Structure 1
């Protein structure tokens, strides 16, 4: 089977991309229609700025969009977890308890902390066990997230809900007039797509094609809700968007075609607000947007056609025109006075590019679209995926580099786009797919959707501790679980 035949054989799966609408049985559709008028429910806040925090993995039963109860997991609740509030310059003790019947880890996606606290695959916590760590927070204000990261289980367990948001604050961000009252004008929005069975239960039963291309759902949920309403004062509101899907990117725009005002990416705020018509949010990435509700009600939309960054191929497979779907409604509340009404002219981020004068490295991401994986699929075995021809091995370290090094990495994704993520480091996108970075690819990043070749200037920031390496991998979680991951250590 050649590449084109293999891709076309998966077109029926891709045609059900998350943004195409909700596939629920008839008896649940009325309930779903009612639920899409619900106000957004934000995760509870867990303040780690001055106190230790405790996160317990918990099993739950969750109703999505009026369907039958689904088996889920979360931290301190049945689905997803609390928003953890951190502050730069603090050391936050964290106790992680495993109250579910599978092993977990707790990876702090975006935090540059020592590898023993990072929560990579080498820090498994068995059912009934716990782990104490400390988070030395030394980086700028940003929106991050946390999730389980057990090799071979990351996709199903994140899909089930073992993930949550992190808001990191600092004095520089506090000195800018921005919305920051949680749940009033500052909203955490965790995006996950779900696939439903005939009773409306969310299921995760990936086929061989799902693993090869990434598992796609029937609908995109926001904090577990279908098309919720975000109500804010008549002024500026701040949206902190986190893509916690296993593989689906979300191409976002406003229904009114008004520009989005982008103020932050993965690793923090930009140097100035940037207007853009749309933003592409790949798995693992975060974005911060400002929306002016004085301009009236609007809707945040997701578009399926360009969501994988595949250009004409995706458009052809989807049958032509892009399909829009409402993610959420943005509604002004006439009775609430806005705290912020003026757009800041400057932000505390830096636009200065680093000089990547250290080692030059090249990483080729390969999902193994060849006869060996086809034969494995025919007998019901999972595919094996690689970086530089090697599948992940927990005992292998691929390279070592000094803390503080500034390196030039080339990431190659020639078969299909892959979101590339690195632990313990951050980077600037120099070029991606032969073009200049899009607005959402500027600034400091830790995840980027690579389409062809991407050139990155990488800053190695965190220390290896307790002999545990950091990992780098594709953030299509099915690919990560299948072996598209490597490891490195750092030296002081």
Structure 2
């Protein structure tokens, strides 16, 4: 992708977010990508997002500075697209934190549109969760502070304002947040960013022939729309397969499907297996040898690849439509080689402790019914397109409650179910207990057409009678079309 020179931010309109910044693109203004954070021991063409350094204040709080910026990026060959990012023109940096850290996120909205920043998968108070109640006005700054109150996992951050989530995520407002801890399981995994630990942010988003990033059902279905596959912001169809050469014998990839709708399945091109070490919500209890990894929009996983000198491993992504129309086909997303001469030590047989929730006598059982009327997407019969609608139809629970939810999908559409606040356990899918990573902690799962999924969760640590969390479809087009409602965890 072509880098461009740095500008002032763009004039936007509330509903014309990308159309507004395209005017600045015509004037030739843009932002330059920040320099990739590569250690001297890694090389190749894989774009590696910069690692954002924090400062530490007098109380010991780690302070990260993020600014929401607009710019231009060449996504299609020879075509300039109006884009946005955190601290750069497209996508954002990677943040790394540790369990127990207190962090402050100083977020400045340099767009001329209201936005939010949601910490997807983070277990934090609702007042700082970054949902539609936590909006940041154009030109404003929001500085949420919270404790990292969860073990090692891969989170991400993105806007979550009412009616503009798909628009802003499609434009490039997305970044990764990696949580580490001091357990033996985490210590056994590669953890030196840019040396043996790398993000793979994979996106299949609709783009017009003129380069406009699209974010509606009409945009998905237009005959002129294409779905380029991006890896860390680079179009693999234009720039070729990204390469990565390391001197480590084991590499850990944090894989995020940041598409607004499409489903990504990661495999090895030679058909061999790789090792999954984490779901989106936690390290697995033990490493799993898997032949493939399916990620619905918003879902993450961590995998390890072992490679020594003379070996070459290519990961590929198969894209299937998650919306009205989407991408398709299989493309290589990274080719990994190493100069290491000795094989890595075997991973431990145990990475983390997983304990199934006791659901013999849940505090509540609920049905979460997903349905639609045309392009109006509903939860329990209500389209959550306003705060009033979501509040009226919202779910109210209490601190400490264990609940079992039956999620029914009466539509012929695939949905990506995401719950804020706490992770959950999948009990059954169409009456069958899940296996592999789906049998442990999750925060985002695929809901197939005409399916029934039963999940369980316990609401711990945080309650607030004013601020709420969300549950919604993470196909962000469906979210903006109404498939979202509020979750209130009350003090009692």
TM-score category of the 2 structures, normalised to the smaller one: 0.7 to 0.9
Contact 1:79–1:160 (CA under 8 A) maintained in structure 2:
yes
Change (3 A) 1:434 1:49: farther
User: What does residue 333 of structure 1 align with?
Assistant: 338
Report matched runs for 1:365-380 at 5 Å: 365-368=370-373, 373=374
1:88: Cα distance to partner?
0.8
1:197: Cα distance to partner?
3.6
Contact 2:195–2:248 (CA under 8 A) maintained in structure 1:
no
d(CA) in 1 for partners of 2:55 and 2:98?
Answer: 5
Contact 2:156–2:175 (CA under 8 A) maintained in structure 1:
yes
Report matched runs for 1:284-323 at 5 Å: 284-294=298-308, 296-304=311-319
1:242: Cα distance to partner?
0.7
1:437 equivalent to 2:434? Answer yes
d(CA) in 2 for partners of 1:431 and 1:49?
Answer: 44
Contact 1:142–1:167 (CA under 8 A) maintained in structure 2:
yes
Contact 1:56–1:97 (CA under 8 A) maintained in structure 2:
yes
d(CA) in 2 for partners of 1:425 and 1:216?
Answer: 37
Aligned with residue 343 of structure 1, among 328, 346, 353 = 346
> Given the two structures, how large is their TM-score scaled by the length of structure 1?
0.81
Aligned alpha-carbon RMSD (Å):
2.7
d(CA) in 2 for partners of 1:291 and 1:95?
Answer: 35
1:391 equivalent to 2:400? Answer no
Q: Which has the higher contact order (CA 8 A, sep 6+)?
A: 1
Task: Identify the range of structure 1 (233-242 vs 420-429) with the bigger mean alpha-carbon deviation.
Answer: 233-242
User: What does residue 269 of structure 2 align with?
Assistant: 255
Q: Give 3-state SS (helix, strand or coil) of 1:61's partner.
A: strand
> Given the two structures, how large is their TM-score scaled by the length of structure 2?
0.81
Higher relative helix content: 1
Contact 1:234–1:337 (CA under 8 A) maintained in structure 2:
no
Change (3 A) 1:323 1:56: closer
d(CA) in 1 for partners of 2:251 and 2:296?
Answer: 23
| Structure 2 unpaired stretches of 5+ | 1-42, 57-61
Q: Give 3-state SS (helix, strand or coil) of 2:194's partner.
A: coil
Aligned with residue 198 of structure 1, among 194, 209, 215 = 209
User: What does residue 454 of structure 2 align with?
Assistant: 455
1:216: Cα distance to partner?
8.3
Aligned length: 428
User: What does residue 412 of structure 1 align with?
Assistant: 408
Aligned with residue 114 of structure 1, among 125, 128, 133 = 125
User: What does residue 423 of structure 1 align with?
Assistant: 420
Aligned with residue 43 of structure 1, among 41, 44, 49 = 49
| Structure 1 unpaired stretches of 5+ | 1-36, 374-382
1:217: Cα distance to partner?
4.8
Q: Give 3-state SS (helix, strand or coil) of 1:158's partner.
A: helix
Contact 2:317–2:333 (CA under 8 A) maintained in structure 1:
no
Aligned with residue 223 of structure 1, among 217, 227, 232 = 232
d(CA) in 1 for partners of 2:157 and 2:341?
Answer: 33
